[in-house]
Amino acid sequence: MDPNVKNAVTPTTPPKVENGSPSEITLDEFEDLNALSKNDDSTVSITVVGASGDLAKKKIFPALFALYYEDCLPKHFTIFGYARSKMTDAELRNMVSKTLTCRIDKRENCSEKMDEFLKRCFYHSGQYDSEEHFKDLDKKLKQHEGSRVSNRLFYLSIPPNIFLDVVKCASKSASSVNGWTRVIVEKPFGRDSESSAALTRGLKQYLVEDQIFRIDHYLGKELVENLSVLRFSNLVFEPLWSRQYIRNVQLIFSEDFGTEGRGGYFDSYGIIRDIMQNHLLQILALFAMETPISLEAEDIRNEKVKVLRSMKPLQLEDVVIGQYKSHTKGGTSYPGYTDDKTVPKDSVTPTFAAAALFINNARWDGVPFLMKAGKALHTKRAEIRVQFRHVPGNLYKGSFGTDLDRATNELVIRVQPDEAIYLKINNKIPGLGMRLDRSNLNLHYAARYSKEIPDAYERLLLDAIEGERRLFIRSDELDAAWSLFTPLLKELEEKRIAPELYPYGSRGPVGAHYLAAKYNVRWGDLSAEHYKA
């Protein structure tokens, strides 16, 4: 942990609130907040670029408040919103205050903590490509930083086409002169290998690799973070983690809603770029990597890169794409993807994709890694399912009353919602006869832990402040990920391959089942048992 990151200050008096929103405070009053410890000689200034956008309002500001609420932010910190919209400090605070919530398990002094946090939030209006406007921001930041060592974090909550403008202006006009400067970049990191490489080259004109924090919020999910603990800290799992015992691995992501009027962005990227190339591939790399020599960021990222470089690029015959169509269920009509007014009527952009990937190394040779991601499906879920091999010469194969596939062990790591880890085992049903069924050894997080699980953005923001890089994506890792998917994406787009249509709220296109069957796999999320877990 960064030695400068200590517990947050609790100011002695909360701010006055007028007309339901925090009042303006003077610079002197703000300095009083930070004057409780003269010994601390550093401060962190967090600038949310694109502060008026949905991501900032719904995720970034609430995550920053949650960190403050848990006493995880540095003692001296300032938060600035930066966007083109004209707004006063009080208007920003009023906007932010509507999205803040306190921990369920820790409600005391909630409104007081909110007011204290909002007093540290300020706003600066400016153009994204104006060095002058960033110089003005720099002056404001210096006023709040005073004589302390200034550390600066810029969160780019903006469209990718203006990343480089902002990085250029922030780097030239608003970098710290005596501390660190870091930039968090949101996906998408390009559309293919070429555009991603161009973006990386552009960023590196103004920043070094260690200053760039490419955020994939799925890596901050509690159950993804727990993957390496589960594997490397439990002797019962690590010896089984190979082709010798594992038959297949499934990475499943499903949403039960469509684009809902926001298809403009999605249509230019599609489900493969939006979910598979980043979220699911990152989870796969963490799952399949060799034991790193330490928990240091570079050691972990080195192992992830080795996995990605061991994989063969995706082939069209190993991919199924789909697009949801309108459907009426229970008297309610659900629109199809191309019914969205922001989507072209002739769009062939996939809203569903299933793919079989293979890792050509000694540990995983021949094991199919099946990915599935889609919108407007029957359930909202993200999970990893590990299906083990059949027991050799199974003595009890006649006692199940089901096929052998249903009698094999399966480890399920449910990332969201209702986080859980459970292992399906075979068990004798009590009684005089010999009847077996499948039971779950179940770790249900809500039942086991009373503490609320932090949002992924909280963990990743805290890591960026502390300089912890293991959950952020390195440039060579990004290159390796794009090289797997770029040939496929180009072929799909050049040939304008039509996706298989599936009804809104269904289990997806039938082709996904044929793809799984091709590799002797049955999707684990389609069985009745799946809903009992």
Q: What is the DSSP string of 48-113?
A: EETTTSHHIIIIIHHHHHHHHHTT-S-SSEEEEEEESS---HHHHHHHHHTT----TT--TTHHHH
Q: Report angle CA 355, 357, 360 to the nearest 5 degrees.
A: 170
Spatial separation of the C-alpha atoms in residues 287 and 228, rounded to whole Å: 7
For residue 333, give the amino acid letter.
S
CB 337 within 8 Å of CB 468: no
Q: Report angle CA 104, 109, 115 to the nearest 5 degrees.
A: 105
Greatest CA separation for the chain: 83
Using CB atoms within 10 Å of the CB of residue 150, give its burial: 0 to 12 exposed, 13 to 18 middle, 19+ buried.
buried
Pick the catalytic residue from 279, 327, 390, 530. 279
- Which residues does residue 215 pair with via DSSP β-bridges, in sequence order? 186
For residue 313, give the amino acid letter.
P
Spatial separation of the C-alpha atoms in residues 287 and 363, rounded to whole Å: 12
CB 410 within 8 Å of CB 247: no
Query: In the annotation, is 279 catalytic?
Result: yes
Spatial separation of the C-alpha atoms in residues 62 and 83, rounded to whole Å: 18
CB 322 within 8 Å of CB 350: yes
For residue 165, give the amino acid letter.
D
CB 170 within 8 Å of CB 129: no
CB atoms within 10 A of CB 481: 25
Spatial separation of the C-alpha atoms in residues 116 and 33, rounded to whole Å: 9
Q: Report angle CA 269, 316, 187 to the nearest 5 degrees.
A: 25
User: Which residues are known catalytic residues?
Assistant: 279
